[in-house]
A and B are shown apart, each in its own frame.
Chain A
């Protein structure tokens, strides 16, 4: 597609439920990033892939957060046993290489009730 696509756009989860958020990067983009954006704040880095390799997961807030990109294209961010503090917009971005411009998707707004 023309841009980074994320699904679902909105997700409401009950506390304790597992969720999976999907990111389709721009075709051919090697680098893929996940960010978390709390209401009224700037995006905060979660994790980074170069092709299928997860090179940096230092921003993942707990071991309940897990990301994968098994074939080097589509990525999934999984959150296990969701908590209220996980409520945020989850943004995915991709770039041709790690040093070039990053393009963001529209995000998935997760609300944990």
Chain B
């Protein structure tokens, strides 16, 4: 059972466009939702994260929108650049003592010049 479902699998946008990546989760005990960016041959790096008590969080060109009732959250990248081309993963973490992240399958983003 996949606890975090991510879409689309791949995405191509033109420079300056606004790619949107969506994730849905099942477990209402999740209380922390980060997005990671991964370049080939590198480990995932945290971009931005949100907790379910807010509906939106913005950091630079990256925005998370969170819909608690729908159990969905999304990443928007404003004014996308070729350097943003990478694989993006959403993740969720359970509450309590469960500290591990559960990742989506990833979205490969390509930003064309």
CA distance A103 to B46 in the complex (A): 7
Which of chain B's residues 63-113 have a Cβ closer than 8 Å to chain A? 89, 91, 97-106
Which of chain B's residues 19-68 have a Cβ closer than 8 Å to chain A? 32, 34, 36, 41-46, 49
Interface size (A, Cβ < 8 Å)? Answer: 27
CB-contact partner of B45 in A48, A98, A104, under 8 A: A104
A-B Cβ contacts below 8 A, count: 57
Q: Does A4 contact B (CB under 8 A)?
A: yes
Task: Check A42–B42 contact: CB distance below 8 A.
Answer: no
Task: Check B102–A45 contact: CB distance below 8 A.
Answer: yes
CB-contact partner of A42 in B32, B45, B49, B103, under 8 A: B103
Q: Does A25 contact B (CB under 8 A)?
A: no
A42-B89, A42-B103, A101-B49 given; 6 more Cβ-contact pairs under 8 Å: A33-B99, A43-B101, A45-B102, A106-B43, A107-B42, A107-B43
